Structure 1
């Protein structure tokens, strides 16, 4: 009989590494001992042979995957090191390069915007636009059914799990579209280093943390009992006994109810834990398999959230995040990032010249200070420590960016607390943002200065800024163009992905109300129209110059493409994807890269073929995979370019903005909720500072020095558009415009400052320094602590007045806060009418004389009067 060593050697000879071979043999010997104990000696040989074959195959797959991940890691590390060297060669340092790769930098060097964030958004837009276009092409009211018909939603879910029962039916066609994009995500993840098997009848699952923890549903024990009854245990946990399945399910419950794998809890204790391999974590995904579609739907009804489209979109969102991270930093991004930082620390310890780039010597000279070489090295290392520090709480900009990119800030620590806080903030939004559409009018100038940044003349920039066209009224063919460019998506998905359940959770109901509120306010249509108009300019701009080689491109266009990571080599391929579309314009559409000839793509991949070892057939297969990967890369680059540049013109928060707001914290935690309350309504000014002000977008991209015309244009239009928006908001409230010129003929500085704030020109700092109110109507406390704290403070003051001898002021304050925070009541086109017909009368009944006091205050503080004849309202309420 062969020895254990002989068995191990035999398995090694079969192609496995020694570690894997030892594990296989150990498992086989254990199984042999179990069979002997059971008296199954006669069947031991057959079962051991089967076990050996199965384990050897699985180990071989694991070994191959490990080799693939190592190769990918080496390749990505080479690319990252090359980029860092290039950035340093252009006069910047390591942290600038890391910022560029993760969330994009406003500094001007090649690839400064070619970030994980941009790639993620490009992938998302490609999938989302594709889904919408294909759903709209189906014969039937798909959007209406997905939005309002729960039976149809359930049929789509069943069709994804049991497609043979829905062939030829509309639900089956919808399921086929959704399944197609889930499959594309799986294949792309595998190319990036994962090993996610194809599962027939698979559908993304959702879990509502508050329902999982509900005592009414029995908590963990109740969840395990329910799942055991409906689970396909053999498929989910093969070769496990019932008790082992229950133990495994308890572990699954702990993970999904906390939103975090509890196996890493040593990190929370301040102990070192190796970062999880992102690719392998994706491989382990999709644990629960139900007996039938009906069992799945029963689970979803009780413990899930959202509808089938919502689940698919959520799955694709998280897939795009993982994919973009792995595409840049390899299968284990966190390890790569830590390795890069440690290598840079070692470099600055040993090379004072490398450390010098971290020191602001000009500031030191102004302060008449000097630093020794050891101090310079220590300063550089401290900056690196501050960027990413380990411990009980991971802190630093790089760590916060990674947490945001990876989706770690989405899972709630305490689901109930997170839900209450989320609903509170949603009520604040619906109570206070009824006039946000009018504020957004002021931001037209942001669109204009960005059009000028791209090299347009002033007149043409403003033509682009006002060229919105209300694309929702366009033809179906026109809408397809905009979907393929990544716009006209958010508004539709906001409707389609609204949570729809019979036993709706507060979060689901609130999400639906928020979608409806912003749609009714006009903000959704306004934003989509602006995006479509601007991306139309970008696409036709590139289409117009597609006949030019890199050297002949306009300087502004060439620089922006370079910052976005679209190199000369890529441009020489992409420009052949230009095509004339139904609107009569030549566009550069991302999807058109798939129509390019292989000969067009080959120059971009030939360097990967130089060292290939294999026969002609293997070489051809490898070359075809490289072509497919390059087409995907070009498509993502172009879609990411449109998405990122559009976010400069129509300001929206991105991962960098969110990281600055929540700082790596999770919902439901004390610090996490404090951060979210304090920064509510501040995403626009923070994003404005990060993009417009830090990026100096008032300058043309082809101007190196001071752009005096750009600065003048920026300041003047900021003031003018801000005053127009402020006037529109005053009129919607039934007030006359604020005085721009006082009685002495001088500019009213209070009005001028407020106008700048309304346009976003001074951002959040202007709220602190110049204005009595911020752009959403809150005071100083609201600016600092957020609207919820400000409102609670005002209510507290009013209650105190009721019991301290000022009951009239107290009652008036309470009713005013109630009216100002009632959802839907403050829409810009209804508020003045409501106040005149109802609101003023209520306030008069509770606090007689309040209207006259309001008139006096408006006149004294702002020089304004009420437009409507409030003299007709009697003291105490009612009409005269």
Structure 2
């Protein structure tokens, strides 16, 4: 067919489907395609090639036009839903600016839907995208731990993934385990792609994809731009990587990728430029356009990863699924264009404030300013900081080198000072799990008993079934992932070494294993609690449990559907997990769509019903996943979006302000999270004053007991006996602080401030600043001729990584350190014993 006939045919075929402007765009694109084919020397059947390319471009343009119309419809629905949520939050007494902030990170106030947020939804999607993945890896491939330390196995998985395509040859490696893992990876990557497309993206299938890379910026920075281009270009599949681009643009695109990886600066979330997903203003469109680096074959993928990558294939898959969860959460709450939607909602709230006759003008102006989330310059508002946190930009370094130096210094402080963190964590985490159970109406003692029971059930008969339940709840696999994701063979660069050493430290300290076990236990308690309560109608539930369901947006209608799921049974206990919603029959979900069907006026009610049922099923699964994830985070405290916002204030690593804040806030993330979650919910989130008073009293008593147990354990490990007098007000006060908000930071604060003469200001500036001040004190004393070998030795010992592990330090003290200290500072033991007797009535055991 001639070029003119082809143009005429396509124009006629597209008439009524594409606008004249869209048809012109297709033809302009055709000229670019012709130039590219000519430059590549593909001159045979040139007109036919161009015609076929034009047909493909016309189809793409048609899809884009349809996507634009779909986005408009989706935005209208999302906006109505978002405004309804804002109205509920404001009706509950939350000011407009804080209501919008709550949609990003949640609120502790006792208002319906106050816990439904982008952050909680992200956790729900991580449960869906990662929990099932890890559960399958554990249950279906018992030898999958080879992913952690067997490079040949990882390479086989990559080779098998590239064969998962039309005409591919699965099983080419002859490694059955690699085939199974490749299929699991591909299936879960496809599930996240389909979900993102449901939310408005248009991401094509990645058939024959070897998997995502994790680029190592330091490795790449060691070579020039030209050298990196020379290394990567021969390994790429140009047609797939640069689909739609002119050949003259290839080098510019790759140079942009290089700059963004090395500098950490790019448009929006810089994953777009590193061959992954992205999230600037129109998130859905950007996901569709994101350039994925396709390698020509598995060997090219492996060679690039060996030269410029970081971590294993599993590490890349985990990052890929986590990014997908982050993008899905944003689009779930704010639609395909989150930034535009936020701006629109903020404008509406500003207008409401302007027209509020009850507010003074000064108050209006102040509250209207709080609704600015990043435009127009000026100091950042809380909403602006939360927006940057939602986008993930506070994790993206501006200057890689500066960020890595800061990370290295802070890692040294962790390795030197947190070896005994698990001693504090065991009693306090157990207590907070029981306290969360009390808030849900289960009772503190019953929750404490359940926590002990679940912890004891972690191993032995039936453990595999409980592990699967735990993973499907999205809990208990952080340590497993860390072990898989950072083996030594994949981390020869500085970032990889820091990660590997830090992971090893927390593994050997016992904190990683404990955290996985207690989070798994907390998740199973919540799941079993729901399984037990599912026997009751909504109006028969305890008031406290109904209250928590309301906070998560689980209505009586949804509860009636949840009651109908098939339970997972283990050792006589019935568990509910979010994935069980997928198995519910359509009839069970019909009450959730009755209103929508009654309002339907279209011509195809059967299709509408199927679509509505699909939406209701997904929403209910997310509701459950969000409920379990959020409640688990009340039982085992971890930093969340709100506490991260308070800690880093919207700054990025590798900037002066960002690094300064990260140094100051080191070890303070847990106290912030504890205060705003446990304290905030206790004071603001109770269902009535009586329940609040009882809960606050229980918190004080429980955490004081936890702090005292932690102190006794710590003293015993240090060879100090008998336990401190629990009737001493000072001991009680220290126990309250140690078991509660200060948490891990309390060990550092009380252990160092008086011993080295640091001021409160120096300690508040963070452990690195306090250590620097200690070094300065010793140095100045040496310059005055007043140097103490004992102080210098203590300073060195207290800043030596791994030496402060809770079992290593006592052994070292008993074997040789006490003698060394006595040599460095004669009379050291006598003075220590005297101080212990006078202050605490204790003696040294060794």
Task: Assess same fold via TM > 0.5.
Answer: yes
SS at match of 2:56: helix
2:634 counterpart (631, 648, 668): 648
The residue aligned with 2:355 is: 350
Residue of structure 1 in register with 2:470 after alignment: 482
In 2: Cα distance, 1:160 partner to 1:153 partner: 11
Q: CA deviation at 1:415?
A: 1.3
Q: What pairs up with 1:6-25 in 2 under 5 angstroms?
A: 13-25=15-27
**What SS class does the counterpart of residue 586 from structure 1 fall into?**
strand
Unaligned runs of 5+ in 1: 266-273, 357-372, 742-746, 869-880
Partners of 1:692 and 1:698 within 8 A in 2: no
Matched with 1:750 is 730
Structure 1 segment 438-453 matched on structure 2, within 5 A: 438-443=423-428, 444-453=430-439
The answer to whether 1:374 aligns with 2:361 is: yes
The yes-or-no answer on 1:196 pairing with 2:182 is no
Alpha-carbon distance between aligned partners in 2 of 1:161 and 1:713, rounded to the nearest angstrom: 56
Equivalent in the alignment of 2:83:
81
Paired residues of 2:113 and 2:553 also in contact (CA < 8 A): yes
Match of 2:710 in 1: 725
| Residue in structure 2 matched with residue 832 of structure 1 by the alignment | 810
Relative distance call for 1:651 and 1:46 in structure 2 (3 A) is: closer
Shift in alpha-carbon separation, 1:341–1:29, aligned structure 2, 3 A: same
What is the rounded CA distance, in whole Å, between the counterparts of 2:434 and 2:556 in structure 1?
27
In the alignment, what sits opposite 1:362? none
Give 1:301's aligned residue.
306
- 2:218 aligned with 1:210, yes or no? yes
CA distance in structure 2 between the partners assigned to 1:710 and 1:49 by the alignment: 72
TM superposition shift of 1:296: 0.8
SS in 2 for 1:581: strand
Match of 1:690 in 2: 676
Q: 2:769 aligns with which of 786, 789, 803?
A: 789
Q: Is the 8 A contact 1:442 1:758 kept in 2?
A: no
Q: Distance in 1 between matches of 2:793 and 2:149?
A: 36
Q: Which moved more, 1:91-100 or 1:29-38?
A: 29-38
Question: C-alpha separation between the residues in 2 aligned to 1:59 and 1:220?
Answer: 34
- Asked if structure 2 preserves the Cα contact closer than 8 Å seen for 1:161 and 1:293, the reply is yes
Matching residue of 1:261: 266
Q: Does 2:534 correspond to 1:554?
A: no
Match of 2:167 in 1: none
Deviation track 1:172-206 (CA, whole Å, cap 9, x = no partner) reads 10111111111101000000111100021211121
Moved more, 521-530 or 115-124: 521-530
C-alpha distance in structure 1 between counterparts of 2:310 and 2:36, whole Å: 44
How many equivalent residue pairs? 825
Structure 1 residues 10, 502: CA separation in 2 closer, same or farther (over 3 Å shift)?
Answer: closer
Q: Deviations over 1:696-733 (max 9, x none)?
A: 1799x554446544343332332222112112111111
- Corresponding position of 2:797: 819
In the alignment, the residues of structure 1 paired with residue 475 and residue 709 of structure 2 have an alpha-carbon distance, to the nearest angstrom, of 27
Contact 1:305 1:499 in 2 (8 A): no
Partner of 1:583: 571
2:417 aligns with: 432
Partners of 1:447 and 1:778 in 2: CA distance: 35
For residues 843 and 257 of structure 1, do their structure 2 counterparts lie closer, same or farther at Cα, with a shift above 3 Å needed?
A: same
| Residue 783 of structure 2 corresponds to residue 803 of structure 1 | yes
Q: How does 1:605-754 map to 2 (within 5 A)?
A: 605-609=593-597, 616=604, 619-696=605-682, 701-705=686-690, 707-736=692-721, 739-740=724-725, 747-754=727-734
Partner residue, 2:275:
none
| Backbone CA RMSD of aligned residues | 3.5
Cα distance, 1:377 vs structure 2: 2.5
Q: Give the secondary-structure state (helix, strand or coil) at the position aligned to 1:755.
A: helix
Q: Which residue is 1:383 aligned to?
A: 370
CA displacement at 1:162 relative to structure 2: 2.6
Distance 1:151 1:323 in 2: 34
How far apart, in 2, do the equivalents of 1:23 and 1:636 lie? Answer: 40
Please give the alpha-carbon distance, in whole angstroms, between the structure 2 residues aligned to 1:533 and 1:257.
41
Distance, in Å, in 2 between the alignment partners of 1:240 and 1:438 is: 57
Pair 465,780 (structure 1): closer, same or farther in 2 beyond 3 Å: farther
CA distance in 1, matches of 2:752, 2:244: 68
1:30-179 counterparts in 2 under 5 A? 49-50=51-52, 52-143=54-145, 145-163=146-164, 164=170, 165-166=172-173, 169-179=176-186
Q: What does the per-residue CA deviation read over 1:785-808, in whole Å, with 9 as the maximum and x for residues that have no partner?
A: 11111112111211222221112x
Counterpart of 1:406 (choices 371, 375, 391) is 391
Q: Give deviations 1:413-436, integer Å, cap 9, x for gaps.
A: 111221222122222112111111
Matched, 1:231 2:236: yes
1:662-694 CA distance string (max 9 Å, x none): 111121111111111111111111011111111
- Seen in structure 2, the aligned counterparts of structure 1 residues 668 and 769 have a Cα distance that, compared at 3 Å, is closer
Task: Please give the secondary structure, in 2, of the residue aligned with 1:473.
Answer: coil
Q: Deviations over 1:724-775 (max 9, x none)?
A: 211211111122356437xxxxx53332221111111567999999998599
Which residue number corresponds to residue 602 of structure 1? 590
What's the offset of the Cα at 1:821? 2.1
Structure 1 residue 320, shift from structure 2 partner: 0.3
CA contact (8 A) 2:675 2:741 kept: no
Deviation at 1:629, TM superposition (A): 3.2
CA, structure 1 residues 28+147, in 2 after alignment: closer, same or farther (shift >3 Å)? closer
TM-score, scaled relative to structure 2: 0.90
Secondary structure of 2:214 counterpart: coil
Displacement after TM superposition at 1:7 (Å)? 11
Q: Is 1:518 the equivalent of 2:519?
A: no
**Contact between 2:721 and 2:844, CA under 8 Å: does it hold in 1?**
yes
Cα distance in structure 1, aligned partners of 2:642 and 2:575: 30
Q: Is the 8 A contact 1:718 1:761 kept in 2?
A: no
**TM-aligned CA distance change 1:621 to 1:775, over 3 Å:** farther
Q: For 2:755 and 2:161, how far apart are their aligned partners in 1?
A: 46
For 1:847 and 1:292, the matched residues in 2 are separated by 65
Structure 1 residues 257 and 624: CA distance shift in structure 2, 3 A:
farther
Are 1:546 and 1:578, in contact at CA under 8 Å, matched by a contact in 2? no
**2:590 aligns to what SS in structure 1?**
helix
Shift of the 509–52 alpha-carbon distance from structure 1 to 2, 3 Å rule, reads closer
Q: What is the rounded CA distance, in whole Å, between the counterparts of 1:532 and 1:703 in structure 2?
A: 30
Aligned partners of 2:807, 2:35: CA distance in 1, in Å? 79
Q: Does 1:248 align with 2:248?
A: no
Structure 2 unaligned residues grouped into runs of 5+: 165-169, 271-278
Asked if the contact 1:794/1:813 (under 8 Å) is kept, the reply is no
Per the alignment, residue 419 of structure 1 pairs with: 404
Task: Say whether the 8 Å CA contact 1:698–1:711 is kept in structure 2.
Answer: no
Which TM-score applies when normalising by structure 1? 0.86
> Contact 1:758 / 1:775 at 8 angstroms: preserved in 2?
no
Contact 1:11 1:21 in 2 (8 A): no
Helix, strand or coil: the match of 1:384?
coil
Distance (Å, rounded) in 2 between the aligned partners of 1:484 and 1:103: 23
Mark the CA change 1:306 to 1:838 in structure 2 (over 3 Å): closer, same or farther.
same
Q: Distance in 2 between matches of 1:775 and 1:654?
A: 33
Q: What is the distance in 1 between the residues matched to 2:345 and 2:820?
A: 64
